[in-house]
Chains A and B, each alone.
Chain A
Amino acid sequence: MSIRVTQGMMTNQLMRNVTKNYNNMNKYQENLSTGRKINKPSDDPVGITYALRYRSELTMNEQYQKNMDSAKSFVEHTDTIMGQINDVLQRASELTVKGVTGTNPQSALDAISAEMGGIFDTLLVLGNDQMNGKFIFNGQKTDQMPYSTGGESTDTQKVNFQSAAGVIIPINITGNEVFGENTDQDNMFTIIKSLQTAFKNGDQSTAVSLMDKLQSRMDKFLDMRSEVGARSNRIDLMDSRLKDLSLNLTDLSSKTEDADMAETIIKLQSQESIYQASLSSGAKIIQPSLLDYLR
């Protein structure tokens, strides 16, 4: 700086400093009122790319959680229905054991046969179960009833839900897996139907051979049921992982975007005092000139 200092220089310098301090104050004020330290891309060009990523991931994470909620309710519903099927099968097994003991009069066998008919009908109803208007056991053909006579095969394809970026999990099990294909020896409908007929005819030996098939179907059914349970666990796991991730992302996002309140307030306050100092020193510098002392 040169030796000569003029009023104009002083005023300009003062204006410059006051404006600069006021700008700084405005910045902290903005950070404070929005609660964010990134309010536009230029505030932190690198930070903003992260901020945007976290925001997107959080949004999608919400969606995945929503998907998992739906998946869970679907799987749980399937499990409930399978529980009911299990009860019915247990009953069929008891009846069969009772029926093949050999001391039953035909009237008792007729009663067993009639109950078997009822069991068959119940199974048919359960096999055609719907959730939200969709048939749960007919693979992707959710709008078509899988069983009308019990002699059909179902669609075998899985319905997948998305649980994370690039990760899909199947939510349904098909009628074929639960009841057996229509060509299977141990197709559930076929066995129950055959048992009904055998008892009606008092055909003990056929009933005995069917008992083995019933057992084999029950084993497969229980396998399937435990698979549903495992899938439910998988969904739970996925869900809690998504929740963890959500927490993690919120944390990261906040670290990237959010202003540290304590720090910002302190900075704002120190900026405020700097601003006031520049104003008051300005007032002091600008006012006097030699004029004030000349008479």
Chain B
Amino acid sequence: MASTFHGIETSKRALSTQMALMQTMGHNVANANTDGYSRQRVNISASRPIEALGFTKSNAAGQLGTGVQYDSITRVRDKFLDDQFRNESKDFGSWSVQSDTLNKLEGIINEPSDTGIRTVLDNFWKAWSDLSQNPENVTGRKVVRESAMALADAFNYTDKKLSDLSADLTSNIDAKANQINSLTTAIARLNDVIYRQEGLGDDANDWRDQRDLLTDQLSQIVNIQVTDTPQGYTINMGSTNLVTFDTATETTADALTNGVGSGDISSGEVFGIVTSRDRHVAEYRKQLDSLANTIANGEVQITIPKGSVLPPGTVLNGTPYNGALTSDITVTVQGLNGLQKLGYTLNSPLQTGVDFFTSKDGSPITASNFQLNKIIADDPGRIATSMRSETTAAGEAVVKGNNVLALLTSQLKDTSFKFVSTGSATVVSNGTVDDFFRAVVGQLGVQASEASRNMNNQKSLVDHIASQKMSVSGVSIDEEMSNMIMYQHAYSAAARAMTTFDQVLDKVINNMGIVGR
């Protein structure tokens, strides 16, 4: 037997359930634009029907419904998509940083342009060719000096830019370490909050959304594996643990760099940064060092024409030379520096050439310490252009009009050098200076376009999955509005039902048993 007020109770349940539905609708609409928010659904069911208590079953037919109740409010979300998103997101992070760095490298190498290293190099060879027309004069020498200084500047400047870029990347690793720490700390805290909330039997929807959002963000920075345990997310980066329950393990820039080395970090922005710095930037610096060093000291084969008089004591390919050459000889010399030492300067008494390029600090020549020899910078007369001397009354003197060395030098532009390897890979081991530089630029182009292509591909994958996620979890205003109308009507109807019971009771309480009154 149902209670007198059973109807009112049923209506009341209806009102509060519809109200919950409407409130959740309001919450959904309010968060339509919230990052990481997943729409929430109120799970409702018919409440337990009445079965009269008694030692025996009552005789009343059927079960009397008691209305509606809501059991839980849950979020609509696909965990599989979360995993996929994080998986693609890490590769996007890695490629976007690499693409960004390679773009910057392109800016530094600055080709094609009229101001890059190639132009400066061309000017250098041109100056030598010019000098070969008038080796007796000082003007052409000054042009060679200036162009050599410009070349040195270009090398120094480019290397400075590269080392700045490298330093930027290093400080970025620091920034990323901080970002990771703040994310993991927040995730650990949310783990705790969610654990406590859900211990009470509720669904901590909004907390979960936040935790997932933070995890998504983390997934772009480093590669992570997320394990959902009853205590919350356990997050690992390779074999390194970042979060367990309410504890986050702090990481540092060093740890991250080591992580890349050990293979723990194989993707994500951090991987991109370290790869950019230690592979791309470092490699281009090495290439540049190799180029600078080779111009100065790289092995190159030249042919010295007959009639040339090599400086006393010259030994080439193990053969000592003395007096004028009776035939052309082909020998290997050590770059521009080696070549200079085979000839004579403009000065008298007879003076042999000096190293053309030296390093600023005495260590092996690199792009950063590359400079024109101070001696030549101070006195362009010390540039050796002649390969011939004669005996005069005053002693041995240079034949100033001999331009053999200047010609040989300007021809180095088209001569194959053996490139000095300064580490990992040299793009070209044998080739002209131009070939080498072109190969460097070409390689940069290939890498940059590959990185940008990969980034774009990865971006569309991430976007696609994000879209799928939104399709599942996103708030549709239209949908919410339709529901709102539905809930509103249900609410009104429940209120109307309650009014009905009210009137019925009114009849019973106020209008019954008053016959004849």
Instruction: Give residues in A with beta carbon < 8 Å to B.
Output: 1-9, 12-13, 16, 36, 38-46, 48-49, 51-53, 55-56, 59-60, 62-64, 66-67, 70, 132-134, 138-143, 155, 157, 159-162, 165-166, 168, 257, 289-291, 294
In B125-147, the 8 Å CB interface with A consists of: 125-126, 129-130, 132-134, 136
Judge if B414 is at the interface, Cβ distance under 8 Å: yes
Question: How far does the Cβ of A56 sit from chain B's closest Cβ, in whole Å?
Answer: 5
Closest to A71 in B: B133
Interface of B is mostly: helix
In B403-427, the 8 Å CB interface with A consists of: 403-404, 407, 410-411, 413-414
B102 and A166 form a contact (CB under 8 A): no
B468 proximity list for chain A (CB < 8 A): 2
Question: How far does the Cβ of B306 sit from chain A's closest Cβ, in whole Å?
Answer: 9
A178 to B478, CA, bound (A): 103
Judge if B90 is at the interface, Cβ distance under 8 Å: no
| 22 residue pairs from A and B, CB less than 8 Å apart | A1-B467, A3-B471, A4-B471, A4-B472, A4-B474, A4-B476, A7-B476, A8-B474, A8-B475, A9-B474, A40-B445, A41-B111, A41-B445, A41-B448, A49-B438, A52-B434, A52-B438, A56-B122, A160-B404, A162-B132, A289-B478, A291-B481
Q: Which 3 A-B pairs have the closest CB atoms?
A: A41-B445, A45-B445, A142-B401
Q: Among B118, B133, B485, which residue has its beta carbon within 8 angstroms of that of A67?
A: B133
Question: How far does the Cβ of B47 sit from chain A's closest Cβ, in whole Å?
Answer: 30
A41-B448, A42-B448, A134-B401 are known; give 13 further A-B pairs, CB within 8 A: A6-B475, A6-B479, A12-B470, A16-B463, A41-B445, A42-B106, A45-B442, A60-B413, A67-B133, A142-B401, A160-B403, A162-B411, A290-B477
Judge if B439 is at the interface, Cβ distance under 8 Å: yes
Question: How far does the Cβ of B236 sit from chain A's closest Cβ, in whole Å?
Answer: 30
Known: A140-B402, A143-B400, A162-B407. A59 touches B122 (CB 8 A): yes
B444 and A166 form a contact (CB under 8 A): no
A133 proximity list for chain B (CB < 8 A): 136
A257 to B119, CA, bound (A): 16
A66 to B410, CA, bound (A): 14
Question: How far does the Cβ of A125 sit from chain B's closest Cβ, in whole Å?
Answer: 20
A51 proximity list for chain B (CB < 8 A): 112
A161 and B132 form a contact (CB under 8 A): yes
A157 and B388 form a contact (CB under 8 A): yes
Closest to B467 in A: A9
Known: A4-B471, A12-B470, A52-B118. A159 touches B112 (CB 8 A): no
Judge if B363 is at the interface, Cβ distance under 8 Å: no
Q: Among B390, B413, B414, B478, which residue has its beta carbon within 8 angstroms of that of A141?
A: B390
A34 to B431, CA, bound (A): 32
Most chain B Cβ neighbours within 10 Å, of A8, A289, A291: A8
Q: Among B118, B134, B478, which residue has its beta carbon within 8 angstroms of that of A55?
A: B118
Question: How far does the Cβ of A65 sit from chain B's closest Cβ, in whole Å?
Answer: 11
A166 proximity list for chain B (CB < 8 A): 411, 414
Judge if B240 is at the interface, Cβ distance under 8 Å: no
Question: How far does the Cβ of B147 sit from chain A's closest Cβ, in whole Å?
Answer: 12
Judge if B96 is at the interface, Cβ distance under 8 Å: no
A38 to B112, CA, bound (A): 8
Known: A48-B442, A142-B400, A142-B401. A290 touches B467 (CB 8 A): no
